[in-house]
Structure 1
């Protein structure tokens, strides 16, 4: 139970970091940065009418789909999913989370149906979430989007925006969600807080740094818990072997105690207060 509490605290800290980041409160603004309004002019980004929270003056609320293309993978027939691992792997949603079983394909597809290392993708069915892919050249399934970004948007900054499920579906795993999928229309119309490009990079770097520290803390907590369990087991073992405390020569030996117990038992049996019991052995 204690471990779950520690895990909960770590998750709450991650959410707080992401929340501060998207409000412009994680790193300071630099007055020398080109404001986001200039990025909008140069890249045809559309302003969003929805403004979920306050942001710095140098930022702008934009419609996410005006700066990001969400490209679906391909839906496959069963006969197209092969087990020959010499072919091109087919990335399914389960492979991103819990499923280690892969299928392969010999199809020759358009280039936008493949992903490579460094591509930002998003799983939108059953299990949600973004990933910066690092698993090599693969075909991706229909339930995954490949994201093509406008040059005004930093890939890592967008990754962290999408990582916070509150930005996408309004809820977190901690509070539960009944949604089973996210539509492309919904995600394209999300309001996206756009900082100056240089600040986007600084924010992403700061989040990565803080998340790395959190992982170290979690690892240390787990190591401490494991050590505590090991020490507890060792102490009990030593205690039962008579090696935890020094023996006192003035202590009454155990065999004398056993003789007293036997005598008392015999007397109780003789007085018919108890029935005869098995012999007490060493």
Structure 2
């Protein structure tokens, strides 16, 4: 007969729960103790009710998956729901538990606002202490790194239940736990408010850019310039894109390209290589010299040509700034400016403006892959001021948009810094550095003994 296991004494359980000094990640206040996560939370691995039983699904009992944890502190909605039958065959996770993704996106946490269940990619921590204190620590970078260090060395990183139970947790006294939560939520609320305002600013950049371009091509931006230079408002004309080009607007080869490596071939551009106002040369292809000779006789791109994407990514233009030899595919159209009436950079700006994009959009054809026909490109109407005013418009657009980009970068940096500040607040909170700890309070060791005795 096998020997019956003897129940551990409270002192033995206490020794198992405490983290040895050499394994403690960092120092905490004297009345805190480092404990194993499994001592202050029950860890439960989720499971998926059998899909062979469709009656398990379609009710209103939340069945949480890793993507649902993106809701963070307010995890409520689930991507799938179980019926009463499905609920009955599942392990129910009480509300106020913390669900932690332990396969794939390891460390992503959600605080469950209602009871539910989870799939097997999630380990839930059912708290035996202040539930939000537990949640916020599980959101710290220290805990996430602890989990990652325990992940199994497989194709997909996995942290099982027992490994998560062994993670270290800095346990404060019970009253301190509540003060930590209140201080964290106070500070995070202020940061969220600041983030919301910054996000509104960030979201408005596209609107302000469109407003700048609208003013530029309706004459409002250079109204003062015309007054100062004695230029009449009547000097503006309306022309088609074909009217302002020195040659017939045409596209690249319709032939299927024969590619080769860069050492033997000639540069070959298509719509994918055109970004806003620039040609991206990073991932271009190369065609065989024989095909190049044939194509170049028909169409030889040159400096100041405007290349317009007409298939796939439509309505995006870039200007040729190099005298390098290259050929283009059918997905690009060439607009060669008649420099006696239009400044090449003005043509580039207006083609990339909402004014032209809206006209392009009206003529898109094709299912799946949008396409612009040359005949429609040729008939797009643009405003045409005098050459000097075109130069001034380009200068003002560049100046104003450069300021906008600078402000946008500053806003993005501020948004990123808010996320870093949140991580810093959580890190400091669980080091006792938020000014909430009271050294006179009884040691958390007494709390740990009470938790162990009750379980």
Return the TM-score normalized by structure 1: 0.74
2:296 alignment partner in structure 1: 110
Deviation at 1:140? 1.3
1:192 alignment partner in structure 2: 382
Whether the aligned pair in 1 keeps the contact of 2:251 and 2:374 (CA below 8 Å) is no
2:341 alignment partner in structure 1: 152
- RCO (CA 8 Å, sep 6+): is it higher in 1 or 2? 1
Q: Deviations over 1:4-49 (max 9, x none)?
A: 75554211111111111111001234364677xxxxxxxxxxxxxx
Quote the Cα distance in structure 2 between the aligned partners of 1:186 and 1:73: 16
Q: Deviations over 1:166-200 (max 9, x none)?
A: 4244477xxxx877122221221222211011001
Whether the aligned pair in 1 keeps the contact of 2:202 and 2:411 (CA below 8 Å) is no
Partner-residue secondary structure (3-state), 2:432: coil
Partner-residue secondary structure (3-state), 2:274: helix
Deviation at 1:117? 4.8
| Gap regions ≥5 residues in structure 2 | 1-194
2:255 corresponds to 1:76: yes
| Gap regions ≥5 residues in structure 1 | 36-55, 266-276, 278-282
1:90 alignment partner in structure 2: 268
2:317 corresponds to 1:130: yes
Quote the Cα distance in structure 2 between the aligned partners of 1:228 and 1:178: 44
Please report the RMSD computed on the Cα atoms of aligned residues, expressed in angstroms.
2.9
Quote the Cα distance in structure 2 between the aligned partners of 1:218 and 1:72: 36
2:219 corresponds to 1:24: yes
Whether the aligned pair in 1 keeps the contact of 2:214 and 2:355 (CA below 8 Å) is no
Quote the Cα distance in structure 2 between the aligned partners of 1:15 and 1:161: 12
Whether the aligned pair in 2 keeps the contact of 1:33 and 1:196 (CA below 8 Å) is no
| 1:211 corresponds to which of 355, 376, 401 | 401
Quote the Cα distance in structure 1 between the aligned partners of 2:430 and 2:360: 51
Partner-residue secondary structure (3-state), 1:62: strand
Deviates most, 6-15 or 232-241 = 6-15
